[in-house]
Structure formats: C-alpha cells, structure tokens
Structure 1
Amino acid sequence: MKAIRYYEYGGPEVLRYDQDVSEPALARDALLIEAEATSVNPHDWKARSGALRAHFPIEFPHIPGFDVSGIVRAVGKDVQSFRIGDRVLAMAKATYAELVVTAAATVARLPEGLDPADAAALPTVVLTGDQLINSELKVTAGQTVLVTGALGSVGRAAIHAANTAGARVIAGVRGRQLGEAAALQVAGSVAIDDADEIATLGKIDAVADMIGRDLAPSLLALVRPGGHYGYASRIPDGTAERFPDVSVSRVFGTPNADTLYRFAEDFRDGRFSLPISARMPLHDAGEAHARLAAGGGGKIVLTMR
C-alpha cells in the first residue's frame, strides 16, 4: 500500500511518500478500512519535528495521522456490527495510509449524505473538544464557560459541546479576531490578549483553554472556587499548584464512536461548523504540514486519490 512515513525527526521534508508499505495486520476485534481521506492536526507536525519526543516517543519508520474516513475492506472474526462495504469514520492511528486497522468499537458509521473527505476532518478535533467540556470540565446547563482559541477546530468543537450542554459560552480570541468571532454561536466574545478585558469577565464556572502557555495563570484566576480549568495545550510548570481551589486537568482526545457520529450528523446538518481550508492529495502531506505550522486557518484534508 501507499503511505506517508518518516524515518527521523525534522521538517516537512522528512515526510516520504512510500509506495510499497506492508498492509497492517487485522486483529479479531478490528476493521480494515480502505481510506478515502485523512486530515492534518497540529500534533502531526509537532511530533514530526521532535518537539513532543519526551512525551510521545516514536518508533521509525512512522506513519502519522489520527483521522480516517473510508470503506470497510475486511472484518475481524469477533466483529458483528460492521460488514464489508460499510462507510465509516474513526479516530485511529497511522492514518496517512491507504489502509488503516482500528478497533471496531471505536468506529462510527458515516452519516448518509456526508462527504467522506469532509468527515475526515472531524475525529480528533471533535472528540478532543467534546471530552474537554464533558469529561474534564463536566459542564452543566446554566454554567458560564470561557473557550479560548475559539476560532480553532478544537475550540469550535468545545463551543458546540458546551452549547449542547446548555451552558453560557464566551469565546476567547485575540483582539484582531473579535469581528470574526461574532459569527460564532456564543453569548459574547473577549480579547484574551487584553488583560483589562479579561478582568471584566469576573468569576466564571469553567475555562476550556486551547492556548495555555503564559496565558494560563490569568485564566485560572477567573475560575470560581470549586470551578474547573481544562486545557488541550501546555501550561507552565507549577501553575496548577497556585490555584488549589480550582480543578485543573489536561485533555487527550480518545476514540468514541457515539460522540463522533453525533458530531458528524450535526456537521452534515449545519448545526456544527468546521472550516476546511484545503483538500490535498496524500503525497503532498509535507506541504500540508508546512501550511498548518505556518498558522493557516481551517483544517487540511488529505485524500487518497
């Protein structure tokens, strides 16, 4: 099969389009998916660069990727819920490839009428955003939640999850993005690069932070005692210890077929919006990594054909 692999850490140029890669082995509880598309996430290029090697070591050669949409080509002996030919999408591993194997329990059916290439943009970001809101922050109806990085893919998913939970959502964006944020389905927006504006929020129930880093302390200071701060990036060492009355946790998105299917339906029906900036062939993965690392907006989808 054809796949993107890299054999060492480095820039986008280390990504190789290998055309004779061994097919993955099918386990008893798994599906073999003939991929139609995958998508690029920030983790992909950060891992490739070596920036994450301390926490996410890689064995070379490595096939990147966590998102896949496609058609079931083979079914493990213990799987009863899928048949060959079913259209599916999933959060998996090694998805920059024509064939992907993943546990059947983590796979969602592709909602009828949803473009498979568009669907490939969803798994990692929607599961991360939803789990941040529901698993880490445990948001409930009536609470006020600040979502930073609100115009990003995970931020948009977190907003949708919080709205679904009945929360009052405030979008945190940079001052120059306030106009764009006005189109989001939120109660209001705040410039997170303006300390005075952040202070106007007063105490809130929860923060879903996609930015982290040096912004984290000022956001934690907003959270009421007993409230929650969840983050999907990194925060400075020792930050959480400065706020003992706030529950602090980090989210790592994990597969969940039911949640993924629900988001896919909402995306198809226009209840959830996720901008897709480009579709590119798999062999252009290096260019896609370079674009994403440069800060281009929207998801980039890689198609197999």
Structure 2
Amino acid sequence: MPAVVRFAAHGPADVLAVADAPLPLPGPRQVRIRVRAAGVNPLDWKIRAGLLAAVFPVELPHVPGQDVAGVVDAVGADVAEWAVGDPVFGMGTATYAEYALAGADRLARKPDTLPWDLAGALPTAADAAFRALAEVKAQAGDTVLVHAAAGGVGTLALQFARAEGIRVIGTASDANHAYVRGLGAEPVVYGAGLADRVRALAPSGVDAAVDLVGGGVVGVSVALTGDPARVVSIVDPADAGAHGVRFSSGHDGEDYLRQALERAAELHAEGRLTVPIAGVYPLADAAAAHRASETGHVRGKLVLTAA
C-alpha cells in the first residue's frame, strides 16, 4: 500500500507519522498523481496544531498538504485535458503522500525545465501572489506596496509585478533588504513610521498595496493609496473589514490558479523567476519540515519529496 503522512490528533510536529493507506481513486473531473514533490506551507502546521480548528476543521486522521507536483497516474470520468504520464503541478488534497488526487482544473503542465522541488513549492504562493496583484488591478506603471516582501508569497509577488513593469516598494526586516533589492524592489523597514518611509520613496503615495503579513498594516495601506479598493489582504480578515478593504481567501471570486502557475513557469523558463528552496525533506521527515516552518524565519520554500 502507498505511504502517507498523517496525524491522528492535533498537537506538536511529532504527531505526524508515516502510515499505509489505500490507493486513492479519482472521481469525475479528478486525476490521481504519483507525487514527486509536495510543498509545505504555514497553513499545514497551523491545521495540525489545531490553531485553525474553527476555520479549517478536519476529520482525523488527517493527511496534510495541497501543493503538489508529479505525474498523472490515473484519470477519472470527464477528464479530457490530462492523460496518464503527463507531468503536472498545482493544488490537490492530502498531498503529503506517494499518491494524491487533484481536480483536473487545478493543475498546469510542468515544463521539463522546471525542477520537481520548485514545481511542488510554487502553487499556493504563486496563486496568492498573482491573485493579490490581480485583485488590486496592478498594472504597468503603477507603484505597489507589498507587505512581507521577503516571504514566500512576497517573493513571487515582487517578481510577478516587476515582470509587468510595476514598481514595487516592499516591507522587510533590515536583514532581508539586500534580498528584496535583488528581486528588483525597493525595501523599507516595517513598523512605526512606515508611511513616512514609503512617502520618502513615493511622495505621492502608492497606487495599490497588498497585505501578506497581517498585524494592522491595512490602515496605513489605505492612507498611502487613498482608495480602499486598491488594497487587499490575504491574511487578516478583521483588519481588512475594519477599513473597508477586500479580504481574499482564494475560495471566492475568480480562480487565478492556472494563470498563476503558467505565468510562474513562463518566467522561470525566461530566467526571471527566483524562488529559494530552504529545505527538501523525504516524507518520513515531515515533522522536521513542520518544525522549520514553525520558526517563522524560513527564507524560501520547504518541500517534501515522495520519489
């Protein structure tokens, strides 16, 4: 039987364990993927720890993971766009596994030039970054403020924006300024006095802002843009609501996933996409990957490999 990583009770990383599971069967409009790589996201350990039980309740035992890259192993009914043997990457369910299921419309073709570990790391971050920029209608010539510019989503938001001719000002700690600058953005320190520091770079304010960090940055973003419609938060619904700003969870509105994946693959092929891989772990070491993610100080993405 194929292996999965799962937890039978909420708790610390050590509750994760490798177990045997039946081979999943694809339903209508689904494919089964022989997993090569699965991204590890902060959401995974927060669900495992029980911190999001009220928002993301899961049936126990639970297999985490949604980011996936691998080879199509079987197709369900009414799937015309994929065939057995196709290399794909995107979002599925229970992807900490040797085999996982995904909706046929939640995948993109993985180019040969895109490494498996990077393909497995991209989906959630690429989707969030692309969606945030789309929802504030960022376009060439705009100046956009990106909060948490050095994070996994921020790294992609900077590169998506710069590729479209958008000027980016990104908040980051001093230690990450060189990294942000290397991605083509102008770094500023977050915290008290942020508006003044941004205005020193953009005296007229900014055209749009995306909140990737939470913690009360929406208000200053609205002040800098002058228009709540040009601000979006993907992490802080309370702060967004308090300032009349859209909160984007990815579960409502337009689906940008395939566009995001295809754009990321295109930029990578052109040599214009850099996403550091902070760690690659075998499935059996999923707990170690979770512990690394929980530190909150990972630059780049964490990935599990199943083959």
TM-score (norm: length of structure 2)? 0.90
Q: What letter is aligned with 2:231? A: Y
Instruction: Say if 1:230 and 1:251, in contact at 8 Å, map to a contact too.
Output: no
Instruction: Say if 1:3 and 1:97, in contact at 8 Å, map to a contact too.
Output: yes
Q: What letter is aligned with 2:85? A: G
Question: Structure 1 residues 167 and 293, CA, compared in 2 at 3 Å: closer, same or farther?
Answer: same
Give, in angstroms, the shift of residue 239 of structure 1. 5.6
Instruction: Say if 1:213 and 1:233, in contact at 8 Å, map to a contact too.
Output: no
Instruction: Say if 1:229 and 1:248, in contact at 8 Å, map to a contact too.
Output: yes
TM-score (norm: length of structure 1)? 0.90
CA deviations on 1:225-252 (whole Å, 9 max, x unpaired) are 35421122225x36643x45xx433343
Give, in angstroms, the shift of residue 193 of structure 1. 2.5
The aligned residue for residue 189 of structure 2 is: 191
Structure 1 CA distance, aligned partners of 2:48 and 2:271? 34
Question: Structure 1 residues 6 and 63, CA, compared in 2 at 3 Å: closer, same or farther?
Answer: same
Structure 1 CA distance, aligned partners of 2:147 and 2:209? 8
Question: Structure 1 residues 101 and 238, CA, compared in 2 at 3 Å: closer, same or farther?
Answer: closer
CA deviations on 1:190-231 (whole Å, 9 max, x unpaired) are 111351424534522211111111333333322213542112
Alignment RMSD: 2.0
Secondary structure of the corresponding residue to residue 267 of structure 1: helix
Instruction: Say if 1:175 and 1:194, in contact at 8 Å, map to a contact too.
Output: no
Q: What letter is aligned with 1:265? A: E
Secondary structure of the corresponding residue to residue 35 of structure 1: strand
Gaps of 5+ in 1: none
Instruction: Say if 2:131 and 2:256, in contact at 8 Å, map to a contact too.
Output: no
Question: Structure 1 residues 166 and 269, CA, compared in 2 at 3 Å: closer, same or farther?
Answer: closer
Question: Structure 1 residues 229 and 255, CA, compared in 2 at 3 Å: closer, same or farther?
Answer: closer
The aligned residue for residue 17 of structure 2 is: 16
Matched, 1:207 2:209: yes
Structure 2 CA distance, aligned partners of 1:238 and 1:31? 38
Identity %: 33
Instruction: Say if 2:130 and 2:256, in contact at 8 Å, map to a contact too.
Output: no
Q: What letter is aligned with 1:37? A: A
The aligned residue for residue 43 of structure 2 is: 43
After the TM superposition, which residues 287-302 of structure 1 pair with which residues of structure 2 at under 5 Å, given as runs? 287-294=288-295, 295-302=297-304
After the TM superposition, which residues 131-210 of structure 1 pair with which residues of structure 2 at under 5 Å, given as runs? 131-134=131-134, 136-186=135-185, 188-195=186-193, 196-198=196-198, 200=200, 201-202=202-203, 203-210=205-212
Task: State the 4+ residue runs in structure 1 displaced beyond 3 angstroms.
Answer: 198-202, 237-241
Q: What letter is aligned with 2:115? A: D
Question: Structure 1 residues 185 and 198, CA, compared in 2 at 3 Å: closer, same or farther?
Answer: closer
Structure 1 CA distance, aligned partners of 2:207 and 2:101? 40
Question: Structure 1 residues 205 and 57, CA, compared in 2 at 3 Å: closer, same or farther?
Answer: same
Q: What letter is aligned with 1:101? A: L
Secondary structure of the corresponding residue to residue 95 of structure 1: coil
Instruction: Say if 2:37 and 2:304, in contact at 8 Å, map to a contact too.
Output: yes
> When you count helix as a share of all residues, which structure comes out higher?
2
Structure 2 CA distance, aligned partners of 1:219 and 1:262? 27
